[in-house]
Structure 1
């Protein structure tokens, strides 16, 4: 990134603050809601995807650890001072086992469905040129934006459609880390709302770990030097997102997502136009 101007670097820092806010606030969207903006600043997906992947590993694991630590404190058995207290502590322990922050059973099932298309997607990312990869990303984000504009999120109502969404989401995640909307359409039907964010984080941790391993194997630069200033930017957004998370869970925000969807749609159209123009030129 040394060849970028100061203004471009400032924009990238602000986008990573936004990325951290969205990721910790919603549990998804750190890539899909920031990558189009990054590509408008500098059209090189393989520069930003490793950075986003490392950020997801750091902040997702931190969030899951903090949430489980808080849950253990809340459900810690009380001292044995009498039979009533003992019963209360035992009940808390049982709640902890049934109401953890991660739905491990469904997570294992989803991974079995997603692992092969994920690997295929990662291979595609490594071999495809930047211009084509950017066009694919803008197209996918443009389609996602329409679901936000018209308040018609992806929905699955059958086991087979679940599998289709998981396979497509895994492949898109492998190519560009933006498969979350498809995956959430499935997970939201099978996981309690209070477990959804952390279960998604656990899934992203595994899938992103696979992606980073492929990057290292292929000799792709992980942009480690850029983390010295972009990690603090993402950390600012992460803290803000954690504070806003409970409000986001309780609130219905169709207007927010409609505005966001319109912005993403415009950005995607402009990005596609620029890509086509450069290709023709």
Structure 2
């Protein structure tokens, strides 16, 4: 980013504000909803991915620490002390995703990225419609969920955009109150593996750029927390409609971006 024009720096700053906003507001989408726009500013994925990964690690850590403190305080006050993280389902999901995640990270299987992305975005689009219109394609399909978690783990290993596939499954298995923090715990584990790979392959982590982009994501994170509180207080139907709208936006953006590259 050393050779960017001033307006490119402004655009990157605003995109990272947006990234932090959607990440804390919904618990997912920080990478999937920002990376396509960042690549439109400048097509350097290996510049942006380490920055996004470190921010995911930082904010997921804050969320889990806050959740732990809140649970301990509730225990001390003899209140309902249910954790905001579904640890049982977290272990189940990670057990399924860990191998495809490693496969994606180390590139042991090379699949056509454009074809894989197009298929995934179409699947995500169907799931988005299920949330928007209140019906489900495979809520009772255990194997369908496993397949999507495997694909999500693989895509997370290759480019950190596996979140739409993972959320499509996790949202059907975890309560609304535990969904966001459970997702943050999943991101913490998956991103830790990704960052380890960056270090192994000597990829520049762009730490100097975190000095001005981490505050940008922090602004968005704060605003997203307010939105998340509003969504939790609103009706469950409205919550899932918002989530479905975001998923549909992600899938359409990704699909038409791939279509544009093919043409």
- How big is the shift at 1:156? 3.6
Residues 1:21 and 2:7 aligned together: no
The change in CA–CA distance for 1:217 and 1:105 in structure 2 (over 3 A counts) is same
Mapped contact 2:124–2:168 kept (Cα < 8 A): no
* 1:115-154 equivalences in 2 (<5 Å): 115-124=98-107, 140-141=120-121, 144=124, 148=128, 151=132
Alignment check: 8 A CA contact 1:135 1:275 kept? no
Secondary structure of the residue aligned to 1:75 is helix
What is the match of residue 54 of structure 1?
54
Mapped to 1, the partners of 2:244 and 2:145 lie a distance apart of 25
Name the CA distance, whole Å, in 2 between partners of 1:36 and 1:136.
16
CA 1:22–1:159 in 2, change beyond 3 Å: closer, same or farther?
same
Unpaired runs of 5+ in structure 1?
Answer: 78-88
Given that 1:122 and 1:214 are in contact with CA atoms closer than 8 Å, whether structure 2 keeps it comes out as yes
Indicate conservation of the 8 Å contact 1:117/1:171, yes or no: yes
Which moved further from structure 2: 14-23 or 3-12? 3-12
Q: Quick one: structure 1 residues 41 and 229, their matched pair in 2 at CA, closer, same or farther if it must change by over 3 Å?
A: same
Q: Is the 8 A contact 2:124 2:248 kept in 1?
A: no
Q: Which residue of 2 aligns with 1:245?
A: 228
Measured against aligned partners, the alpha-carbon deviations of 1:184-231 in whole angstroms (never above 9, x if no partner) come to 222223222211111111111011000000110011111111101100
**2:97 pairs with 1:114:** yes
Counterpart position of 1:86: none
User: What is the SS of the residue equivalent to 2:213?
Assistant: helix
Deviates more, 1:206-215 or 1:107-116: 107-116
Quick check: 2:20–2:220 contact (8 Å CA) kept in 1? yes
Alignment CA distance shift 1:76-1:236 (3 Å): same
Mean alpha-carbon deviation: is it higher for 53-62 or for 139-148? 139-148
**SS of equivalent to 1:190:** coil
Q: State the 1:26 CA deviation.
A: 0.4
Alignment length, in residue pairs?
A: 257
CA distance in 2, matches of 1:134, 1:47: 20
Corresponding residue number in structure 2 for 1:84 = none
- Counterpart in the other structure of 2:85: 102
Partner Cα separation in structure 2 for residue 6 and residue 217 of structure 1: 33
Larger deviation, residues 51-60 vs 175-184: 175-184
Q: Scaled by the length of structure 1, what TM-score is found?
A: 0.79
Deviation at 1:134, TM superposition (A): 7.7
Check conservation: 1:146, 1:261, Cα contact below 8 A.
no
Conservation of the 8 A alpha-carbon contact between 1:121 and 1:174: yes
Question: Do the aligned partners of 2:120 and 2:165 also contact (CA within 8 Å) in 1?
Answer: no
2:143 to 160, 183, 200: 160
- State which structure, 1 or 2, has the greater radius of gyration over its C-alpha atoms: 1
Root-mean-square deviation (CA), in Å? 3.0
- In the TM superposition, what are the counterparts of 1:217-256 in structure 2 within 5 Å? 217-249=200-232, 250-251=234-235, 252=238
Relative to the length of structure 2, the TM-score reads: 0.84
Residue correspondence of structure 1 range 31-110 to structure 2 within 5 A:
31-77=31-77, 89=78, 92=79, 95-96=80-81, 99-110=82-93
Partner SS, residue 76 of structure 2: coil
Equivalent residue of 2:37, what SS?
helix
The whole-number CA distance in structure 2 between the counterparts of 1:41 and 1:149 is 30
Indicate how the Cα distance of structure 1 residues 154 and 226 shifts in structure 2: closer, same or farther if over 3 A, else same. farther
